Structure 1
């Protein structure tokens, strides 16, 4: 079955960042790209009344922008172009991903962010509250990374809260598809209350790392190159800044425990990491557990 990746495109630097990274991801994993521009539907417009000629103009302009975008996609990456109307950019991308049974949605950072940094805007925020497939957040400047860099490593942030299994499963799938190593980042040392004794934190961190490694060894293919790293620092931000990040790396994080099953919601830990990491971040939806009812 062909893997499909939906890319939200706008004729901006952020749009070009999204297409550039998605191209590298598709080339590494053998996926097809579906590059989409979402235009405001008639119902949303209060300035311009519905007009067939105006709609044609919008479609023609969008098609021209898409042509410019896909011209930079490597020939070896199959791709399609889509112009859709929807009440919001996020809604249009989610509907398209659902229609195509896409594996993920890729979007760029909001305007105003620094290079190699993430910035959430209204579209990404809506996606993170609504999507039922992983959302890939691309930092500003990703288009500057050489196309042949590809994907070099997958890092998965594994904490102690519900949803860790979903992150591990998705991370291993990414790593296997791209044929790259998997790094499991244990967050337990910075995921505990500040009042906990330092010695207890150290013991908990070592125990959690052993637990994650044992789970990984039991669940992951023997051929997958896997390592465990325990985050160290007084805070999430400090721990993340001490890590090494490769230009071709991606980071996977889980959704908040407050998220609905099979839906996204960026938790506080993931949000703090997002401010510091210089690589694309994949936010993985929660999965329904056996305790939450049928349909696991």
Structure 2
């Protein structure tokens, strides 16, 4: 588990959600927080020359917003605030995470999401297509979760595709850092037209899910235990809906196999899950190593 968490902050409810979750994670793991507010890059307009007075006002406003964010961080959590100029929100966060050695980037839901739900905006989508460190997607209303809830459980959506080892390494490191128990999750779904006889497919899928869970359990480091569950449903959304979720829970998923090496890409299964789960989701690059996860 990294010792530094980068929070992509905006002066909105989503920004406060991101700070609240990062604070909970930091309390549980002993990590430090870097709250980052990304401002439009200097020289952003090719029509109107930069206005020094406006830039000063913007920087003063950014400092005020960052101070407001910092006021919601628990006293025992070490934190710093940064105003960063960049061409995009994603670029600014990725650059500063690289400079500071941040191991997680935390962002809130886009405008329009309901409480307890995720919503991806264009800035978050860009981040999910370009980050080389895990990104935590925080649902709307995370700031309402009591700080004492901590990190109550880590659910890991496991599989046998490339990146499975990196995902498990990240989950184990986070479990050790926070003391949260692991729950291994395998999905059995049949996303096919209603006219197709899915009986045999469903039986084969269940057997495969059980094999995946057994193999994953065997690969856990000595001394690390995990509960194993299989979620079943006619679709990914239905399978996930039937699971129980604790208020302080977090789910980890791997990046799509379509992702470039050391980059993220949210796959179709994770995207479908995101519509239904009410807890933060950590998306892990498929080539992240055990050494990086444990920093």
Match for residue 209 of structure 2? 208
- How far, CA to CA, are the matches of 1:96 and 1:15 in structure 2? 17
CA deviations over 1:94-149 (Å, ceiling 9, x no partner) = 00001011111000000001110000001100000000000000000001111111
Number of paired residues? 287
CA deviations over 1:257-282 (Å, ceiling 9, x no partner) = 11101100111100000000000001
Match for residue 183 of structure 1? 183
> Does the C-alpha gap of structure 1 residues 55 and 117 become closer, same or farther in structure 2, counting only changes over 3 Å?
same
How big is the shift at 1:205? 2.3
How big is the shift at 1:221? 3.3
Q: Choose 42-51 or 10-19, whichever is displaced more.
A: 42-51
Match for residue 120 of structure 2? 120
Match for residue 24 of structure 2? 24
How big is the shift at 1:233? 0.3
Q: Choose 160-169 or 276-285, whichever is displaced more.
A: 160-169
* Stretches of structure 1 lacking an aligned partner (at least 5 in a row): 290-296
- How far, CA to CA, are the matches of 1:48 and 1:71 in structure 2? 36
- How far, CA to CA, are the matches of 1:46 and 1:121 in structure 2? 26
- What are the within-5 Å matches in structure 2 for residues 276-295 of structure 1? 276-287=276-287
Match for residue 230 of structure 1? 230
**8 Å CA contact retained: 2:251, 2:279:** yes
- How far, CA to CA, are the matches of 1:33 and 1:218 in structure 2? 31
Match for residue 134 of structure 1? 134
Structure 1 residue matching 2:143: 3-state secondary structure: helix
> Does the C-alpha gap of structure 1 residues 176 and 151 become closer, same or farther in structure 2, counting only changes over 3 Å?
same
Structure 1 residue matching 2:252: 3-state secondary structure: strand
Match for residue 12 of structure 1? 12
| TM-align CA RMSD | 2.0
Match for residue 274 of structure 1? 274
Match for residue 171 of structure 2? 171
- How far, CA to CA, are the matches of 2:55 and 2:149 in structure 1? 39
Structure 1 residue matching 2:10: 3-state secondary structure: coil
The alignment status of 1:67 with 2:30, answered yes or no, reads no
Match for residue 90 of structure 2? 90
- How far, CA to CA, are the matches of 1:47 and 1:214 in structure 2? 59
Match for residue 99 of structure 2? 99
- How far, CA to CA, are the matches of 1:178 and 1:191 in structure 2? 35
Scaled by the length of structure 1, what TM-score is found?
0.91
**8 Å CA contact retained: 1:186, 1:205:** no
Q: After TM superposition, which residue ranges in structure 1, 4 or more long, deviate above 4 angstroms? A: 191-197
How big is the shift at 1:29? 1.1
CA deviations over 1:224-273 (Å, ceiling 9, x no partner) = 33011111000000000000000000011111111101100111100000
Scaled by the length of structure 2, what TM-score is found?
0.91
How big is the shift at 1:57? 1.6
Match for residue 110 of structure 1? 110
**8 Å CA contact retained: 1:134, 1:285:** yes
**8 Å CA contact retained: 2:158, 2:212:** no
How big is the shift at 1:30? 1.0
> Does the C-alpha gap of structure 1 residues 106 and 2 become closer, same or farther in structure 2, counting only changes over 3 Å?
closer
* Stretches of structure 2 lacking an aligned partner (at least 5 in a row): 290-295
* Greater relative CO, 1 or 2 (CA 8 Å, sep 6+): 2
How big is the shift at 1:46? 5.4
